[in-house]
Amino acid sequence: VLGHYPQATALLSPLPLAMRMAGPREALWHALIRRNYGATHFIIGRGHADPGAAAGGLFYPAFAAQELFARHADEMGIAGIFLPEYAYSRTRRRYVPVEEANGEALAGISGTELRRRLASREDIPEWFSPPEVIQILRQAYRGADRRGLVIWFTGLSASGKSTLAGMLARTLEADDERAVTLLDGDVVRRFLSKGLSFSREDRDENIRRIGFVASLVARHGGIAVVAAISPYRQARADARRLVEEAGGLFIEVHVATPLEVCAERDPKGLYAKAMRGEITGFTGVDDPYEAPEQAECVLDAGLQKPPTALAALMGVLRQLGAVTDKPVVNAARKEA
């Protein structure tokens, strides 16, 4: 970035300070912090740290931050640089104050528009920012449809979790550019959690291990599709926390097939054994299943055929922005 400025005229000093979007008062706070770091001047724009109104536009009056700063500049000990609103003139090939447009159509890209272009991988003109900066932003920014994603199926044994998870994984492998990892509870029990019992403590440990692996997949931008009974809310909440701390999106899918339907299916004969007392600690019979209270998606595989349930789930994923049907845009067009 510094290479775009004349030598010995600019110093880049990154300050790890998150925006609070508190408007004019935040402008004063920013100024004091920068003064403490040695700055002598501070640039305040038209809508500094403005959170934006629900209906669009600014929440605070335009230039309110500049006016508040001017009233307190002497006591803060840092000078303000009050800039008007600027936009890009394609004819003059430079930024000019909007008030000097004289009828000329000026160009600009808002923060919202920038994020949209980054998410959809659309072209960003060089007049907006140096190409090196845009490249770094593209590497760092992921839209929801490119974030790491964990889709966690929970439900009773024989509810249809594994069937739906497998169908979803195959669909995503065909349609999504992210790598897809399927973590099926039965397979995990044979390898990752071999030796664990079905006590509550060991069940929680099993879910903790699955959640950790899923969070690693999400951290690296992949998709983890998990199918596990995961009967306890707290264990599922812990898995969600692991994924979200890794920067991933966690979507809980409750396969809410009724107990009587699951027991009638009973492909492994486990419900029959549990009801005869031959095995104990079986979820739904003599061990509780704590149904999700706020799952992102609820399916009933007893009423819905698998293709119908999958279509409903894909609709939810699209609504949440986790997947998209839109083709990847790779515009070669340059905006002059």
DSSP codes, 100-117: G-TT---B---HHHHHHH
Give the number of other CB atoms < 10 A from CB of residue 29. 13
Do residues 159 and 301 make contact, with C-beta atoms less than 8 angstroms apart?
A: yes
pTM above 0.75, yes or no: no
Q: Which two tokens stand for residue 207?
A: 């879910």
Q: Which two tokens stand for residue 326?
A: 């839109």
Catalytic site residue from 157, 159, 215, 230: 230
Q: Helix or strand or coil: residue 59?
A: coil
Do residues 166 and 182 make contact, with C-beta atoms less than 8 angstroms apart?
A: yes
Q: Residue 15: CB partners within 8 Å, gap ≥ 6?
A: 33, 34, 37
Q: Is 230 a catalytic residue?
A: yes
The beta strands (E) that lie in 24-179 are given as: 41-44, 79-82, 86-89, 94-97, 149-154
Q: Residue 155: CB partners within 8 Å, gap ≥ 6?
A: 161, 229, 254, 255, 256, 257, 289
What domains sit in the chain, N to C, each tagged with a CATH number?
A: 149-319 (3.40.50.300)
Q: Rounded to the nearest 5 degrees, what angle is found at the Cα of 62, between the Cα atoms of 57 and 65?
A: 120
Dihedral of the CA atoms 130, 135, 140, 142 (nearest 10)?
A: 110
Q: Which two tokens stand for residue 6?
A: 């004349």
pLDDT tens, residue order, the chain (336 aa) = 667 777 877 777 788 888 899 999 999 999 999 999 999 999 998 899 999 887 778 899 999 999 999 999 999 999 999 988 899 999 999 999 999 998 999 999 987 788 888 877 789 999 999 988 898 888 777 776 778 999 999 999 999 999 999 999 999 999 898 999 999 999 999 999 999 999 999 999 999 999 999 999 999 999 999 999 999 999 999 999 999 999 899 999 999 999 999 999 999 999 999 999 999 999 999 999 999 999 999 999 889 999 999 999 999 999 998 998 644 444 333 444
Q: Residue 57: CB partners within 8 Å, gap ≥ 6?
A: none
